[in-house]
Amino acid sequence: MSGLDRAQADNLSGLRILVTGGAGFIGSHLVDTLLAQGAAEVRALDNLTNGNHENLVGQNANERFTLVVGDVRDDVVREKALHGIDIVYHLACLGVRHSLHDPIENHDVNARGTLLMLCSARAEGIRRFIYVSTSEVFGTAQYVPMDERHPTWPETVYGASKLAGEASSRAFFRTYGMDTVVVRPFNTYGPRSHFAGDSGEVLPRTIVRLLAGHRPVIFGDGQQTRDFMHVFDTVTALALLAQGSGLAGETLNLGSGAEVTMNALCAAVALAVERPDLLPVHDSARPGDVRRLLGDPTLMMSLTGFAPTVPFERGVAELVAWFRASAADNPDQVELMEDRNWVALEAV
């Protein structure tokens, strides 16, 4: 438990909380944190498309935890998952790569799924609905740091569908007076992050490649940037949104305030795995690849007091250790990855 977790412990006592997407990367860490902070009950709703039981193995014996396996678009499933719930964290969605080859389903889960969750949560009379959006709603930075008023011109259907979910969440506050909060994490990394398939993220992919002795792949010149936050910090920030007045109707960026180029990321991983000889291979730039992201954390800090605690280099070193340990279970990790450009990915 981090220092902040300890300070917050028991703050959530009495609350019954639903986390959609709770078997996924961020959702499962959020489940752990909410339970560690004393929530009376935490329920995860996930159809296990990209999430898995393994992420929740630490809570198997916890009587305050339940996993509801099902689709957020299923009326019966939503009713069951929401019954008696006070707070909803809505994270269930399909990711950016999925949106390239199946934009219709991506929109259906991310946009319509959110609207359905809002309708059902309102019918249940929940106290607060926290919509976990993404910095991908912005498209590439038009100025930095990117505050909440930065224009939203998403590059992908994923970003567009998440923006629709944001708009519906804000509309439920304005139209129905429902207590909704929108939060936009920038790039999150840490244990349980995806390295393979549609959900594969750049940092875990790079780590897995280098650990297997392969050179990292950079699409484009490597000068594109992302604002990285360790998942322990991300979920600490999310947990702070469960309570407190003055948050209803707000939209908050959740960035660290620092940016990392893809070139610097590869160098940091090479250092952590002690393979500085594995220099990046450059492939052509990807369509829809955002050029620059750097969040302004000021509003989040001023409304919640949150500040990130895990420096990037330390987080990378710890994640390398985590992947080293998990490779013992799955020595063929690198075979599961497809380091193809998005253009090729779309064509298959």
| Angstrom distance (rounded) from CA 196 to CA 176 | 41
Residue-by-residue DSSP string for 218-277: EESSS--EE-EEEHHHHHHHHHHTTS-SS-TT-EEEE--S--EEHHHHHHHHHHHTT-TT
CA distances from 90 to 13, 31, 61, 347 (A): 20, 12, 24, 31
Query: Residue 50 Cβ, how far from ligand NAD at the closest point, in Å?
Result: 4
Using rule CB under 6 A, residue 92 touches ligand NAD: yes
Select from 113, 145, 200, 222 the one that contacts ligand NAD (CB under 6 A).
Answer: 113
| Angstrom distance (rounded) from CA 315 to CA 292 | 21
189 classed as catalytic: no
Judged by CB under 6 A, the number of residues near ligand NAD is: 30
Using rule CB under 6 A, residue 21 touches ligand NAD: yes
Using rule CB under 6 A, residue 89 touches ligand NAD: no
**Site map (CB under 6 A) of ligand NAD, residues 123-162, x = contact:** ---------x-x---------------------------x
Using rule CB under 6 A, residue 255 touches ligand NAD: no
Contacts of residue 61, defined as CB under 8 A and 6 or more positions apart, other chains included, come to none
Using rule CB under 6 A, residue 204 touches ligand NAD: no
| Angstrom distance (rounded) from CA 297 to CA 307 | 8
Query: Residue 43 Cβ, how far from ligand NAD at the closest point, in Å?
Result: 13
Q: Kindly state the helix (H) or strand (E) to which residue 160 belongs, with its residue range.
A: helix 157-176
Query: Residue 256 Cβ, how far from ligand NAD at the closest point, in Å?
Result: 12
- Reduced to 3 states (helix: H, G, I; strand: E, B; else coil), residue 209 is helix
**Do strands 260-261 and 225-226 pair parallel, antiparallel, or not at all (unpaired)?**
antiparallel
Select from 12, 26, 118, 265 the one that contacts ligand NAD (CB under 6 A).
Answer: 26
Select from 12, 34, 93, 126 the one that contacts ligand NAD (CB under 6 A).
Answer: 93
Query: Residue 19 Cβ, how far from ligand NAD at the closest point, in Å?
Result: 10
Query: Residue 239 Cβ, how far from ligand NAD at the closest point, in Å?
Result: 14
Neighbours of 303 (CB within 10 A): 16
Using rule CB under 6 A, residue 187 touches ligand NAD: yes
Active site residues: 158
Q: What are the residues binding ligand NAD (CB under 6 A)? A: 21, 23-27, 45-51, 71-73, 91-95, 109, 113, 132, 134, 162, 185, 187-188, 199
